[in-house]
Homo-oligomer: A and B are copies of this chain.
Amino acid sequence: MYKRIPAHIGIIPDGNRRWAEENGLHKKDGYAYGVPPGFLLYEMMVEYGVKEATFYGFTKDNNKRAVEQRDAFTKACIDAVETLANRDAELLVIGNIDSVAFPKELLPYANRRVRFGRNLIKLNFLVNYDWAWDLKKGMEQGDIASADISRIDLIIRWGGRRRLSGFLPVQSVYSDLYVIDTYWPDFKKEHFHEALAWYQDCDVTLGG
């Protein structure tokens, strides 16, 4: 169906709070609605032969938000990772575990790849991630903290913002960015097809 499938897709599932407000809920309540779309997207990526995917969970900067929002997005991340841990995937959680904001439930998956079932896809989650921390590890230890995550071909962002928001600066240097205006909890399968269709015509030259 598609001539070119990106080997590695980055997912920025933004707009959970705006979605909640539009639907008469508290901001914090949006995050839980962001978990089920992640599984749908996981299944589509496996079906279409994507080899690696990275989900933007939450960042150090997100921790500046109200405490009930922090609790809610942390829980959503735990739920997402724990459910995917029962699927076929090689799971890797990257984030600063030396901070209290890192959920202890995810320590078993932190900074090392854990295989579940058949190795259908590499799945990475950024949890309490911080781009400056990622690069600083490189300065201190010779390799960035996210060194096990490969270069990203296509980034799909929901919620309309046209920016990376600190998402893996090294792996994103040549990524094509496709932005969907719909808020993430309203994810539709068509969004993935839209992004893939757009990607067919991206002229990937890597500067050459």
How many whole Å from A168's CB to the nearest CB in chain B?
9
Could you say which residues of chain B place their CB within 8 Å of the CB of A173?
Answer: 131, 164-166, 169
**What 10 A-B pairs are tightest by C-beta distance, nearest first?**
A61-B207, A169-B169, A64-B208, A166-B173, A162-B177, A139-B139, A163-B176, A62-B207, A131-B173, A59-B207
How many whole Å from A193's CB to the nearest CB in chain B?
18
Number of A positions contacting B (CB below 8 A): 32
Could you say which residues of chain B place their CB within 8 Å of the CB of A177?
Answer: 162-163, 177
Could you say which residues of chain B place their CB within 8 Å of the CB of A131?
Answer: 170, 173
Cβ-closest chain B residue relative to A206: B61
A92 CA to B185 CA, complexed, in Å: 45
Q: Tell whether A182 is near chain B: CB-to-CB under 8 Å.
A: no
Q: Tell whether A135 is near chain B: CB-to-CB under 8 Å.
A: yes
A99 CA to B33 CA, complexed, in Å: 52
Considering only residues 113-127 of chain A, those with a C-beta below 8 Å from chain B are none
